[in-house]
Amino acid sequence: MQKVTASQLIDRAAALLSDGSVSAVLGWKQGEFDYDITPAVFADEQALRDAFVWNDFCGANFSKYLLKATKKVDGKVLVFLKPCDTYSFNQLLTEHRFDRDKVYAIGIPCEGMADIDKVKAQSGDGIVSIACGETIQVTTLYNDAPVSVELADVLEERCANCKSKKHVAYDELLGDEGDVLDSARFDEVAQLEAMTPDERFAFWQEHLSRCIRCNACRDVCPACTCEKCVFDNPASGVENKAPANEFEEKMFHIIRAFHVAGRCTDCGECSRVCPQNIPLHLLNRKFIKDMNDNYGEYQAGAEVGSRAPLVDFTLDDPEAADVLDRRG
């Protein structure tokens, strides 16, 4: 279960609203079925008490929402950030994408978020209600008694391979500070690297052929903040609303991964929102792993203002030939 409660967050937000420190709160809003939570801006205490939630299904990363919210709201915006969200927060600050002075950030500890598909694999479909406590109690139409699910068994992939419980940015921290973790997040990349080129091609072909080009991965991505994406621009010559063929289908995702390389914090929002369950995070992790291998460990968003290896020339950089040799 989560270490801080919704009422703690609501009380703190209400206090900051009432003393005028902040004028709006970016938070998670209750849905129809306890797990379908929507990001929302709360303007007053009543709105918070009516619908603000914090539970095992609050996966949405609010960092990117700050771009819009800080422009719309007079005064400061209060934002709640999970550890992984703080990396996106810093990365956006590095890129000067929002005004830090307009934000009051509260770091909140996170025990990982649940993947509703994994919950349903245990509880079955037809969810009537979900109560998040010591365990996740799922009441369905098809079971007489609530099914008890352990959060650890239904974590989203990015949470099962959590890279850090440490908040790298905040004005105020609720709960204890965590640590950067030694995660297994590159294991699957290593498996892909061990494949033959044909096997790897088949792997990506199978996954990427399901893409419906809805752009959810791009639109949710905190690293994708171009005012006008090249793929949305009819004047670019490459604008497209659907893959014209199998080649282009792959190009879109590979180009996007290149574009965010060095800036992607591995927050995992792309894979979380993909309606077709494409493991997009693996493309980004491959780039992160390569950069770590070639230029030394680098974590985008670990601090504000750091220069990503791909845009920072140093005399120690490996020669292209060395990199090729290493690939064998």
For residues 262 and 313, the answer to whether their CB atoms sit within 8 Å is no
DSSP structure string for 101-136: GGEEEEE------B-HHHHHHHH-S-EEEEEESSSE
Give me the least distance between CB of 278 and another protein, in Å please: 7
Please select the residue that binds another protein; options are 1, 33, 193, 293, rule is CB under 8 A: 33
Which residues inside 168-227 make contact with another protein, applying CB under 8 A? Answer: 206-207, 210, 212-216, 218-220
Check binding of 246 to another protein (CB under 8 A).
no
Check binding of 328 to another protein (CB under 8 A).
no
Looking at the DSSP bridge assignments, the partners of residue 41 are 26
CA distance 266 to 305: 18
Check binding of 244 to another protein (CB under 8 A).
yes
Q: For the chain, where are the alpha helices, taking DSSP H only? A: 6-18, 45-51, 65-72, 83-94, 116-123, 157-160, 187-194, 197-208, 216-220, 246-260, 269-273, 281-295, 320-327
Site size for another protein (CB under 8 A): 45
Which residues inside 262-321 make contact with another protein, applying CB under 8 A? Answer: 272-273, 275-278
HSE at residue 303, side-chain half, CA atoms within 13 A, is 4
DSSP letter for 18, please: H
Q: How far is CA 216 from the centre of its chain?
A: 12
Which lies closer to another protein via its Cβ, residue 78 or residue 302?
78
Give me the least distance between CB of 125 and another protein, in Å please: 5
Considering only the stretches 123-131, 187-195, 251-259, 286-294, report the one whose residues sit in contact with another protein under the rule CB under 8 A. 123-131
Nearest to 219 by CA among 165, 263, 274: 274
Check binding of 31 to another protein (CB under 8 A).
yes
Which lies closer to another protein via its Cβ, residue 73 or residue 189?
73
Check binding of 40 to another protein (CB under 8 A).
yes
CA distance 103 to 24: 10
Give me the least distance between CB of 147 and another protein, in Å please: 14
Contacts with another protein by CB under 8 A lie at 31-33, 36-41, 60, 65, 117, 125-128, 141-142, 206-207, 210, 212-216, 218-220, 228, 232-234, 239-244, 272-273, 275-278
